[in-house]
Amino acid sequence: MEVQQHRTRNRRGEGALLRDEIVAAAERLLEREGDEEALTLRSVAREAGISAPSIYSHFADRQAIIEAVLDIAFERLRRLVLDAAEDASDPVERLLAGCQAYAGFAMNDPARYRVLFGRQAANRLQIAPFTDLGALPEIWERRLAAFKVLVDALAACVKAGRSASTDLFADATTLWTSLHGAVTIRQFCPGMPLPPLDRTVDDLVRRIGQIRP
């Protein structure tokens, strides 16, 4: 007979801890199963060692859990890009290092990457067209923080006279979408005879970023 494990009840004031445990359980499921569809209230509750109704004290539904996982993953990506560029003194090398880190995240953690950038429905907030990252809704300000790092890195190249870009937002957007295409085609067409990803990233950065010697 299967013995069901029960989680010890949190003491008063530990609600935030339980919320973190629920999100961590969802992250583990995503990493293990590699598919967002594996995240159900029942599966997350089982992974966290709690009853499914306990989740409702912290999350209204499955989508709310996924949104919390998204926030963590976007922040992880931002930190990864920043950390990769931290030791480079040359602005072009910092830009290259950050873009290589982005591509590495996509290839090494494809499940989380798909949740961030490959979703078809729930993660579609309706906002007006924009070119000012400072005028975004708070949720998108957080989730585009990694993109802002890219814009700032390209701006540093321009300031140092290493880039001929005259439209930072447009060029950074083109670079980002090109990086996304480079990793996506490798994920979905693994047998395609493509050049090494690091070489592709380097080429995209130098071409789209209009990098000068």
**C-alpha to C-alpha distance for 82 and 96, rounded to whole angstroms:** 11
Q: Report, in angstroms and rounded to the nearest whole number, the Rg of the chain calculated over CA atoms.
A: 20
- Rounded CA-CA distance 106/127 in Å is 26
Q: What are phi and psi of 123, to 5 degrees?
A: -95, 40
pLDDT digits (tens, 9 = 90+) for 104-157: 999 998 888 888 887 654 445 555 555 666 666 676 777 788 899 999 999 999
What is the per-residue DSSP string for 69-89? HHHHHHHHHHHHHHHHHTT--
Q: Domains in the chain and their CATH numbers? A: 15-59 (1.10.10), 67-208 (1.10.357.10)
Low-confidence ranges of the chain (pLDDT < 50): 1-8, 10-13, 121-123
User: Cα 188 vs. chain centroid, distance in angstroms?
Assistant: 18
Residue 115: what pLDDT?
82
pTM score of the predicted model: 0.80
Q: CA 147 to CA 126: how far, in whole Å? A: 19
First to last CA, the chain: 70
Q: What is the pLDDT of residue 16?
A: 74
pLDDT of residue 34: 79
176: its two tokens: 């980002």
